Structure 1
Amino acid sequence: MIEQSNDDKGKKTAVLFSVQTPGVSDEENGSSLQELRRLVKTMGLEVVATLTQRRSKPETGTLLGAGKLKELAGYTGGTGIVEKFSRKSKDECDDMDEEYPVGSLADRYEESLSHDPMAENRVRANVVIYDGEISTKQLQNLEKATGVEVLDRTSVILEIFSRHAKSREALIQVEIAKLAYLVPRLRASQIGGDRQGGGVGSKGVGETSHELNKRHIRDRISELKSRLVGIRNEQNRRRSRRKENFQVSLIGYTNAGKSSLMQKLTGSDVLVEDKLFATLDTRVKALQPEAFPPVLISDTVGFIKKLPHDLVASFQSTLDEALAASLLLFIIDASDPAFRSQLTVTHSVLKEIGGEKIPNLLILNKIDKLTTGELEALYLEFPDGIFISAHTPEDVAILRKKILEYFESNMIETTMVVPYDKGHLLGQLRNKASIINESYDETGTSVTFKTFPETLTWLQKMMD
């Protein structure tokens, strides 16, 4: 994979490209490419250009038509030619080439875009990245045509996950996902006779090195999954011990501000970075200042469009934290023009893991980046939303109050007199209820409190 350089001159540069098929709007295509740009930036790469071609479907062997493939190779110094690329295919592809701007190219490259793509003074890209998934054959052809490393969107996400994983569980889950991604993309040996155990006296024709590699990878995946079982069992035990507490889980698109909000609500020192997938490990902290009922807040891995299925499956245990929650907070970046589609992705992933029926609140974060007009429009569009900036203490206090009000809505307020000979119950009651007032007379302690029906039933039974 890509190595990061500390030398600015040696910094890796990338050119991004996509194929826009019918049914995908310019806005959707542009938004997806912009998101890919942010992913690539998180990897430490500098994007020098973005290309898009409209086609009825991606070209089978190279994704792009011959003309656009030549243009792509102009950024890398490649030939733009793949052996055995048929004349018929080239003519058909040239007819379908349609050039148009998508997203914003870096300012210093804009002028050069109007010149010959093979111009020698162009800043070269040493990585090509496709906004989608690439098959093994397409990868081989694109590398031949461009002469540089070629990545797809999934491999970029996997690389970011690999760099940001810290806990033992996250490291194992990322490795499983990377290996699952690798298996169908292993390149078969070019030497037809490269076989193991196929000599005289052996059974069968033996295995190619390609087959052996696949078998070793599958064995490694099985080993990692076995290790994960023990970790998940321990997590389930911890989760079981937390059942007596109410738990709120922050979910949403990556970089929506979940970690910042987690930090403000709990007073913890969780990592906060302006990067995609800065958080991969679930953290569980108590809501601060403490109140009744006690509430635990958990942060989860962010979602993203086209999140590889293997990653969703691998991070099931992390997402299980959300499934154990009493309340979900859907955190969205209200300043991101694409937040509506991001919210759709969040709902989709949540449904995939079986959490669509858990009660939730919609939190529109980063409103400090909106104009008054934009904010007013969103108030009308999302009347039930909670509008905040995680950097504004007053907003965080309002959200904390909303969380407590949600749980308090099921509480009952009542007054009871606890006789002095049962005074030991008061200590237990203070842990199980919110005490509003206490007074004393000759019969005992008169207590006004708010609590849940089951606690009230327990107290009445103890008083009999």
Structure 2
Amino acid sequence: MQTEPPVPLAVLVGIQAPDVTDVAHEASLEELRRLVKTLGYQVAGTVTQKREGTGAASLLGSGKLAELAALTGGTGIVGSMASAPRSKARQRFEAAPGTRILSEPDPDASRRPEFVIVDHELSPSQIRNLERATGAQVLDRTGVIVEIFHRHANTREAKLQVEMARLNYVAPRMREASARGGRQQGPGAGESTLALDRRKIRDRVSELRDQLEAVQRDGDQRRAARRDQLRVALVGYTNAGKSSLMRALTGSQVLVEDKLFATLDTTVRALQPQTRPRILVSDTVGFIRQLPHDLVASFRSTLAEALEASLLLFVVDASDPTYAAQLEVTRTVLHEIGADAVPSRLVLNKLDRVDAAGRVALMEKHPDAILLCAHAPDDVSALRDTIIAFFEAAMVEDVLVLPYARQGLIGEVYDSAQVLSEEHDETGRVLKVRGLPGAIMRLRRTLAAPA
């Protein structure tokens, strides 16, 4: 009978700068714990230190470095400048894009943490120094997020985007393994193994970029077809409850998990019960503090749903003590892509986890916000009414004539506008409609075009 390998153990490392409060520092470490849990690892300990910054060669002072090494079984000494041997976990991470970071059981050190996870972005030299001192695989915050994205991507577009970001992350952190040093023979002679590997990555990234552009062109065409439709985008911090709210509003079976970045691929569904015209709701990838720039840039398509929406719903976990900082992260990223000009409403979610005094404080601080619990049908129904009212406020009434020879277009009229009345005369159907100005203008052009 085959036994399951033990859950990999990890030690978290955090540096608290002078301008970071105790609450913010602990919240950041708690978020890192959840990221590590999402990877499938178990946190075996935490090492923190107050320092001026994160620029030290080994990140930690000598005392804290020794404390960390005691947990992992390392020497606590950085050692020589020779390249440290790569662990099996590191080799897998730097291998083909389809691999995962996994851990193999070591009977001689079964309960020693195999990973050191640092709550900051590290330079390649800092990673090497920590690995020498601890004897463990070292990942920084960016590496953890990239790996989670790599595991959770489902669509072709998301997989291409994540692979490209992952390779951009790995390339500067690659180093010569002692067994593979030296120069290549034959074609490319004189080029080191490291330089060759990095050139292969550059070529692969270029290939991925071309493939991604082709996929995104198809996505742009699909979004263009929905341009005159009513669209709402759910945006917010990861694990704020966007997918739960999406399921409640649309009745769709989108993935709902208590994990960070459970949703990476954009899901678009119609608001239920359906309205005339239809209102489309999209669930976008969640944001997080220090989201790698490569991932922000590469996820253009899912963010485009926010940019092209008529209404943004900023979904916030109201029960999180750092929700204000999370909201600021969301607003900053949306500003970077130009979506801050889109009309928006603040939705304070998970209200069932907030006590009465907390609710009063939220209402005083955010008087225009929508307070709800995504699992409460009455709250979701009230939000649905708010969405409908937003669009109806921008609608206008008009009269369209549908010639008898073009009755096949009646479905498009009903999909694009609300038909208030319908009469017949010698020219065709006379429809009194209510809808967005752009949608009605498009219908006029369609009806006026030659059959």
TM bucket (normalised to shorter chain) is: 0.7 to 0.9
* Structure 1 unmatched ranges of 5 or more: 86-120
Match of 2:192 in 1: 208
Q: What is the Cα deviation at residue 456 of structure 1?
A: 7.3
Q: Which runs of 5+ in 2 are unaligned?
A: 82-108
1:291-312: CA deviations, max 9, x gaps? 1231111111110000010111
* Maintained 8 Å contact 1:265/1:400: yes
Q: Which residue of 1 aligns with 2:101?
A: none
User: Is 1:194–1:209's contact at 8 Å kept on the other side of the alignment?
Assistant: yes
Q: Give the whole-Å Cα distance in 2 for the aligned partners of 1:177 and 1:445.
A: 54
Give the distance between the partners of 2:179 and 2:7, measured in 1 at CA. 36
Q: Work out the percentage of aligned pairs sharing the same amino acid.
A: 50
**1:28 matches 2:24:** yes
The correspondence of residues 176-191 of structure 1 with structure 2, limited to 5 A, is: 176-188=164-176
**Alignment partner, residue 237 of structure 1:** 221
Distance (Å, rounded) in 2 between the aligned partners of 1:388 and 1:192: 58
Question: In structure 2, how many angstroms separate the alpha carbons of the residues matched to 1:53 and 1:248?
Answer: 44
The match for 1:360 among 341, 344, 352 is 344
| Counterpart among 196, 199, 202 of residue 184 in structure 2 | 196
Q: Which residue of 1 aligns with 2:281?
A: 297
2:8 to 3, 8, 12: 12
Contact 1:195 1:208 in 2 (8 A): yes
Which residue does the alignment assign to 1:150?
A: 138
Shift of 1:172: 1.1
**In structure 2, the residue corresponding to 1:389 is in which secondary structure?**
coil
The offset of 1:209, in angstroms, is: 0.9
Distance 1:236 1:449 in 2: 29
Aligned equivalent of 2:392: 408
Separation in structure 2 between the aligned mates of residue 447 and residue 237 of structure 1, nearest angstrom: 29
Secondary structure class of the residue paired with 1:81: coil
Say which of 53, 57, 65 aligns to 1:57: 53
SS at the partner of 1:356? helix
SS across alignment from 2:35: helix
CA deviation profile, 1:69-110 (whole Å, cap 9, x unmatched): 00111111212122269xxxxxxxxxxxxxxxxxxxxxxxxx
Tell me which amino acid in the other structure corresponds to 1:296.
L
Q: Which amino acid aligns with 1:273?
A: E
> 1:286: which partner in 2?
270
1:218 aligns with 2:202: yes
Task: Specify the alignment match of 1:110 in structure 2.
Answer: none
Secondary structure in structure 2 of the residue aligned to 1:151: strand
Distance 2:259 2:198 in 1: 34
What pairs with 1:255-404 in structure 2 (closer than 5 Å)? 255-404=239-388
1:131 aligns to 2:115 (yes or no): no
Q: 1:41 maps to what in 2?
A: 37
> 4+ residue stretches of structure 1 with deviation over 3 A?
5-8, 121-124, 188-193, 416-440, 444-459
CA shift at 1:60, angstroms?
2.5
Report if aligned partners of 2:263, 2:286 keep a CA contact under 8 Å in 1. yes
Aligned residue for 1:196, secondary structure, equals coil
How many residue pairs match? The answer is 415
Is the contact made by 2:17 and 2:50 (CA closer than 8 Å) also made in structure 1? Answer: yes
Could you tell me how far apart the structure 2 residues matched to 1:376 and 1:309 are? Answer: 37
Instruction: Tell me if structure 1 keeps the 8 A contact 2:165–2:295.
Output: yes
TM-score by length of structure 1 reads: 0.81
Letter aligned with residue 327 of structure 1: L
Contact 1:438 1:447 in 2 (8 A): yes
Q: Cα–Cα, structure 1 residues 452 and 145, in superposed 2: closer, same or farther, change >3 Å?
A: closer
- State the distance in 2 between where 1:384 and 1:75 align: 49
